[in-house]
Homo-oligomer: A and B are copies of this chain.
Amino acid sequence: MRLTNKGKYGINALLVLASSQEDGPLTLKTIAGKAGIPEHYLEQIMGRLRQCGLVASTRGVQGGYRLARESEKIFIGEIVEAAEDSVQPVKCAAHQCERSDSCLNHDLWSRVTESMLKTLNGMSLAALCRDAFDHPCRGGDCSYPAWENIESGGV
C-alpha cells in the first residue's frame, strides 16, 4: 500500500515542467537532471503520462515535453494513476462476483479507492508547485524534488 518511485517521479517531473511552462518544451535530459531521476527510467514514465494526456511531446531538435494543460487543471491523483498502474488497493474481478453490486467487501475497497482519489484530486499540480517553491523539502520519502536545482518560473 505504498507509492512507488514511478508515482513520485511522475509528480516530480511534472513539478519541474510546471515550474517552467513558458520556456518551451523541456528535454527528458533536462527534466531528469533537475528532478534527479535516471533519464531512461523517466522516459518510461513520461510515456505513461503522455498516453494519459497529461503531457505532450515533440520530437526532433528543440523538441521535448510540456504540460498538456495548465497546471491548475492537472490533479495529483491523475498523475499517480497514470504513473502507477493504478491506485486501487484491490482489483476485485467484479465479473466473477455473482452480486458484486451488493458485496460489502467489494464495496468497501471501492470506497477506499474513491476516497484516496478524492483526496489526491483535491490538489492541483499548480498548488503543489507553488508550495514546493516555498518549501525545498528533500528529506526522506517526500516526493518533492531537490528544488535547489530548479529555477523559478511561471506556475
In the assembled complex, the Cα of A119 lies from the Cα of B1 at a distance in Å of: 15
Collect the chain B residues with CB atoms within 8 Å of residue A137's CB: 96-98, 100, 103, 105-106
Judged by a CB distance under 8 angstroms, whether A59 is at the interface is no
List the B residue with the shortest CB-CB distance to A127.
B104
Judged by a CB distance under 8 angstroms, whether A88 is at the interface is yes
Choose from B100, B127, B143 the contact partner of A90 (Cβ within 8 Å). B143
Collect the chain B residues with CB atoms within 8 Å of residue A80's CB: 1
- Can you give 19 contacting A-B residue pairs, CB < 8 Å? A1-B87, A2-B89, A3-B109, A92-B140, A92-B142, A96-B138, A97-B135, A97-B139, A98-B137, A100-B137, A104-B127, A105-B132, A105-B142, A105-B143, A106-B137, A108-B119, A108-B123, A111-B119, A115-B119
